[in-house]
Chain A
């Protein structure tokens, strides 16, 4: 028996030795040809590569490398704003006040199978997207017509708000011939018009894209880097030949595989692990860390009759009982930005004057005054007051923020039971805030990359015409709010003044208080010049500049 156990131990040891150096880049044979390949770690498997499926973590990181849209909304590094970059679309005509948008396509667009993409293919793609029901932005399209080979006319059901057409231009366009030739609706065999094709896909493990054998249809613009000719850094093909996306579910594992060089880049490293890669960390020599603001955190209130928050004095009391700076310090370790308005500096119409305004300043005495008014109006006392704040458990910072708010509110009311926290998984959270009887306040996130204009982001939550019961999100039934929102968002009246008027009214009525935004870290190797963001907080992998010689010298 002892001999057997010793033999087993010896066998295991020999097996481990035989495994060899599984991760070292030097384990492979040296080659004089530098392989232009990058390995990216992402937090999700796209599963379905079809162009018109719901957005998931995996799909948002990969699909824009394969499919193109009329004009992706991505950051302009010159000014930091998000803007549409005309790609398939050369330009569009539209009269303010009209519901018709006439899109002019660029000539010579082909997909990687060599099929042309014309106006009829754009019409086909949009109709498929509308039928799938996966994109709420296209629900406003009434009719699509291919006027000629390069002209598409969109007729909307109603006048669009400013920036709304930018969202409509995000639909992926494919050639009808390629789509119909696919046996599974491009679920595993995507064919797009970028310069890359999916060469390998192992569900749950990895997906690889490689440069297509057919040259990219707008190589001239990529070479000249002229934006007017259709250059977009997202679709640059000269930097890298192969990109492998590895699906890594766990954030700690992501940090480990970065350290072992099993992957080269990642945008999904947790804030706890990012210190390993920053200055002073053990991997600081091998990696660079790029920081971007995360989604802005906001407190929204339930203004329905079933909640005491329908009273403005109580809302005011709530919004004065915590300090945004304290939330940033406690929940985000001071790594982020305090919010001064319901807006984001990354949008084109952000007004810097907001940073100097009185924005629900933390003052417990002021909060108590408002609370006293609330008691007088409603003939209630402190012991009657019990409210619930709802948050998602997808980020530990959310619960910490709620705890700070809870502490402040309970101190103002004088009862520890005045506020309870309901922390739910993301899906249940998104169902619960749609029920007016289940919560009173809600911690909400506002993704800064989802809109080119502030008013577009406001519309998504405050437009009472888009809700079934005619009330804005969180049950706000206020015609003045709707009028000011329409004035700020309408193409005819959008201006700094109308945006300020809306912002001021939201503050006056205490419908929402923005708190702060944390940080998202993207890590790249030292042989990559800089990180450029793609759509929806992804990394524009093919658009980055890599120093392949440096990579080879470092032995990666």
Chain B
């Protein structure tokens, strides 16, 4: 297992390299000149040319990319923002925790609400509870989160006055943005849980468990749910990744100083180091999340764990056999 984890961690490196090259290439060919953002629309061509030389934007694609990759992987430097003049890593460091907390809260909410709703729907298949849960799930998937954000803001901030509309100064101000972002994930989790549980409920081992006289709660949570968890964990992992990088709209509506607004500002201002640095950080974070998801699979499903261990044993035996033979 340790070997597997180490191998997966090493695999993150080529993934990040590919992401870095890809985002650099996209930004390189993206139309728009960052010198105009920096100097303003009245900038003379001379001052633009001087600045382009100073920033190294005059160099060829290969040279610029080589310099970028060298700074990123050898010097571990994400560069300096063209607009603010501050190191990108510092700015990400102030914003990433907000987005991370946001994403974790979304994931927890997704699990705490979506899973029980899905179980209820599965255990009351074709009943009113099932239909209600599926209707809520459909609504959750269909509603655009930016529309929901504005409507909830009007309801709870303006009309009822019980929640703040913007910022993250108090714990109350987290409620609306987290809920808006989590709704889609809750809906997906509900549907996925229902689907997985329906499959497991009909399995022979569940029938056997019922025949043995176990309580229904025990049958569901000890026998059925663990077997339905694998796709659910995948859904949660995807939801976390989405919350990490896809909160741009919610952050803008609620004026949350997270990574989403930072990236959109960087894109609109053609602040290349900001966009490139942020995307690389998100790629690393997402890769780590996927690793944790895979490890969770092994933890929950003993078959997967056994498969890893037997593979390791085979490799060990294989080497011994080879060394003897």
| A interface residues, Cβ below 8 angstroms from B | 1-2, 4-5, 8, 15-17, 19-24, 45, 47-48, 50, 53-56, 133-134, 136, 139, 187, 202-206, 246-250, 252-253, 256-257, 259-260, 262, 424-428, 430-432, 434, 460, 466-469
* A-B contact list, 27 entries, CB within 8 Å: A4-B116, A19-B162, A21-B161, A23-B161, A24-B161, A45-B257, A47-B83, A47-B86, A48-B83, A54-B37, A54-B38, A133-B51, A204-B95, A204-B258, A246-B166, A246-B255, A248-B166, A249-B255, A253-B153, A253-B166, A253-B255, A256-B165, A424-B31, A426-B268, A427-B32, A431-B36, A434-B45
User: Could you say which of A206, A256, A426, A467 contacts B44, with CB atoms under 8 Å apart?
Assistant: A467
Chain B residues with Cβ under 8 A from A460's Cβ? 42
Question: Which residue of chain B has its CB nearest to the CB of A469?
Answer: B45
| B145 interfacial contact with A, CB 8 Å | no
Task: Check A23 against B157 for contact (C-beta < 8 Å).
Answer: yes
Task: Check A22 against B172 for contact (C-beta < 8 Å).
Answer: yes
Task: Check A468 against B46 for contact (C-beta < 8 Å).
Answer: yes
A428 CA / B41 CA spacing, docked (Å): 12
A247 CA / B253 CA spacing, docked (Å): 11
Chain A residues with Cβ under 8 A from B270's Cβ? 427
| B117 interfacial contact with A, CB 8 Å | yes
Interface size on B, residues (CB 8 A): 67
Chain B residues with Cβ under 8 A from A8's Cβ? 112-113, 116
CB distance from B46 to the nearest CB of A (A): 6
| B237 interfacial contact with A, CB 8 Å | no
Docked complex: B157-181 residues within 8 A CB-CB of A: 157-158, 161-170, 172-173, 175
A434 CA / B45 CA spacing, docked (Å): 9
Task: Check A427 against B268 for contact (C-beta < 8 Å).
Answer: yes
| B85 interfacial contact with A, CB 8 Å | yes
A136 with B44: in contact, given A205-B169, A253-B254, A427-B270 (CB under 8 Å)?
yes
| B192 interfacial contact with A, CB 8 Å | no
A259 with B51: in contact, given A246-B166, A468-B46 (CB under 8 Å)?
no
Where chain B touches its partner, the secondary structure class is: helix
CB distance from A456 to the nearest CB of B (A): 11
User: Could you say which of A21, A54, A247 contacts B39, with CB atoms under 8 Å apart?
Assistant: A54
User: Could you say which of B37, B42, B123, B255 contacts A136, with CB atoms under 8 Å apart?
Assistant: B42
Question: Which residue of chain A has its CB nearest to the CB of B253?
Answer: A250
| B interface residues, Cβ below 8 angstroms from A | 31-34, 36-47, 49-51, 83-86, 91, 94-95, 98, 112-113, 116-117, 119-120, 123, 129, 150, 153-154, 156-158, 161-170, 172-173, 175, 220, 251-258, 261, 268-270
* Nearest 10 A/B pairs, CB to CB: A204-B257, A468-B45, A427-B32, A48-B84, A431-B33, A428-B32, A47-B84, A19-B172, A249-B252, A428-B31
Chain A residues with Cβ under 8 A from B256's Cβ? 204
User: Could you say which of B154, B167, B268 contacts A425, with CB atoms under 8 Å apart?
Assistant: B268
